Amino acid sequence: NSPAWNFQRVDRNQGLGAPDLRGLAQRKPGMTMDYEAALDASLQRLHDEGRYRTFIDIERRKGAYPNAVWRKPDGSEADITVWCGNDYLGMGQHPEVLAAMHEALDATGAGSGGTRNISGTTVYHNRLEAELADLHGKEAALVFTSAYIANDATLSTLPKLFPGLIIYSDALNHASMIEGVRRNGGAKRVFRHNDVAHLRELIAADDPAAPKLIAFESIYSMDGDFGPIKAICDLAEEVGALTYIDEVHAVGMYGARGAGVAERDGQMHRIDIINGTLAKAYGVMGGYIAASAKMVDAVRSYAPGFIFTTSLPPAIAAGAAASVRHLKTDGTLRESQQLHARILKMRLKGLGLPIIDHGSHIVPLHVGNPVHCKMLSDMLLETFGIYVQPINFPTVPRGTERLRFTPSPVHGPARIEVLVNAMDNLWAQCALNRAEGAA
Ligand code: PLP
């Protein structure tokens, strides 16, 4: 007879009326458009092109990652190995991260209770920002609810701060940067991917007096190739442009303290705004920029995507700070991740499989057809308990569909062996091409 028990017995439809399951046309007789037919057509298009996305329902097991349980649509379950997560270092289950989150949760409760301006700034947010500023050797950092929002909010705000700003954006920049640049109402130029000569040409065609910013990534996550950081910084200095780098796939992963590729290459001090995520190598959630105190103050004050949204829960901020702190001094996870990535690439290449290898930690396997890509992914999951999501358009250009493997320190030799044998088997079954002379 507890109140909770009574509550559960309440008929949810009472007082609200039974759900109205009639079609839209009956409910809205004044309709001029057949909304449902339009939705059907949009969804059918994706099915026809073989790129309708199905989410795999998985439950990760703390301490056992990359093992997880797959809950199948028919209600049954299977044990699987996750081979496509972005928890690159397994920090999502690291004891220090979990302890920090538990402590903050117990101390402060669930949510932050407000935007950063209205009661949502806590000691945990401040500590995290101090940790990030220190990581990147910048005066300040600003935390957002994701790196997507950090990119979008910052890039869409910069023209308000620098009237007449022209943004030069790499052709393969992430959707969040494209969105930010597109929405900002300022001038934009798109330079061919990693083509500094083209970037120079575009800059030369513009007014030398106009304020400029070059936006690019340190690692392009779908091919795993590196951005030409030094060459871009050299050019930016020459023409007086600001630099903006997305290190989302590199923070925690490269550099002596895990600050990214710019740290590894000794270029970090030359970048004006660094963007990173707390959701991939750091294993938690959230995004940020790190920059000068004045730049951060201005973005903090003008970016709607920062101002008008609830701040991260304190427990998330505490876990992220613990993760960043840990990876500043512990390089062993990075090294082991890199080793496993190298071994996996070598093994798959040895079978003649078309691995795209730019020397980074990401292992993309080119399939080149959305239907084959989905089929391989389905077979891996159903037959071998290996989960790797197919990557299709618009995440990658059509015709370059791929499987993208993300080894981690916990994807050791035994798991690599299982994956390599499965791929060998499936490649043969599907009669896909191999490189000449392969085993
Ligand atoms: N930038 C790049 C290059 C990304 O690949 C992603 C996410 O996959 C993001 C930004 C967004 O990061 P977050 O997941 O923190 O929103």
pLDDT digits (tens, 9 = 90+) for 250-266: 999 999 999 999 999 99
Beta-bridge partner residues of 60: 68
Our answer on whether the CB atom of 246 is closer than 6 Å to any ligand 1 atom is yes
Angle at the Cα of 249 (from 284 to 393), degrees rounded to 5?
105
How far is 337 from 36, CA to CA, in rounded Å?
A: 47
Our answer on whether the CB atom of 218 is closer than 6 Å to any ligand 1 atom is no
List, for residues 364-379, the tens digit of each pLDDT value: 999 999 889 999 999 9
How far is 302 from 309, CA to CA, in rounded Å?
A: 13
How far is 388 from 392, CA to CA, in rounded Å?
A: 12
pLDDT of residue 208: 98
Higher pLDDT, 96 or 15: 96
Which tokens go with 411?
Answer: 């994807």
Our answer on whether the CB atom of 147 is closer than 6 Å to any ligand 1 atom is yes
Give the DSSP H/E element, type plus range, for residue 233.
Answer: helix 229-239
pLDDT exceeds cutoff 80 at 432: no
pLDDT exceeds cutoff 70 at 418: yes
Higher pLDDT, 310 or 439: 310
**CA of residue 173 to ligand 1 center, whole Å:** 10
pLDDT of residue 436: 59
Asked if 305 contacts 112 with a C-beta cutoff of 8 angstroms, the reply is no
For residue 219, the ligand 1 atom closest to its alpha carbon is 3
The average pLDDT across 122-150 equals 98
Which tokens go with 383?
Answer: 């037959």
Closest Cα to atom 7, ligand 1: which residue? 148
**CA of residue 149 to ligand 1 center, whole Å:** 9
For residue 286, the ligand 1 atom closest to its alpha carbon is 15
Place of tokens 């496993």: 340
Beta-bridge partner residues of 189: 168
pLDDT of residue 13: 53
**CA of residue 385 to ligand 1 center, whole Å:** 27
Our answer on whether the CB atom of 221 is closer than 6 Å to any ligand 1 atom is yes
**CA of residue 369 to ligand 1 center, whole Å:** 24
Our answer on whether the CB atom of 176 is closer than 6 Å to any ligand 1 atom is yes
Place of tokens 């004050």: 301
Place of tokens 């500043």: 328
pLDDT of residue 7: 45
Taking CA atoms, 389 is separated from 85, 245, 311, in Å, by 9, 27, 30
pLDDT of residue 135: 98
188 as an active site residue: the answer is no
In the chain, % of residues over pLDDT 70: 95
CB atoms within 10 A of CB 195: 14
List, for residues 190-211, the tens digit of each pLDDT value: 999 999 999 999 999 999 999 9
Place of tokens 């043969």: 428
Higher pLDDT, 49 or 74: 74
The average pLDDT across 282-302 equals 98
The average pLDDT across 284-309 equals 98
Active-site residue (options: 280, 328, 345, 349): 280
In the chain, % of residues over pLDDT 90: 82
Confidence of residue 438 (pLDDT cuts 50, 70, 90): low
Pocket test residue of 86, 88, 148 for ligand 1, highest count of atoms within 8 A of CB? 148
For residue 279, the ligand 1 atom closest to its alpha carbon is 15
Note the pTM of the prediction, 2 decimals: 0.92
Confidence of residue 61 (pLDDT cuts 50, 70, 90): confident
pLDDT of residue 20: 79
Instruction: Give helix 95-108 / helix 314-329 axis angle, nearest 10°.
Output: 150
Our answer on whether the CB atom of 81 is closer than 6 Å to any ligand 1 atom is no
Confidence of residue 17 (pLDDT cuts 50, 70, 90): confident
pLDDT exceeds cutoff 90 at 50: no
The average pLDDT across 153-170 equals 97
pLDDT of residue 167: 98
Query: What value does the mean pLDDT of the chain take?
Result: 93
**CA of residue 426 to ligand 1 center, whole Å:** 31
For residue 277, the ligand 1 atom closest to its alpha carbon is 15
Residue type, 60: R
The average pLDDT across 403-430 equals 95
The average pLDDT across 273-285 equals 98
Our answer on whether the CB atom of 279 is closer than 6 Å to any ligand 1 atom is yes
Confidence of residue 2 (pLDDT cuts 50, 70, 90): very low
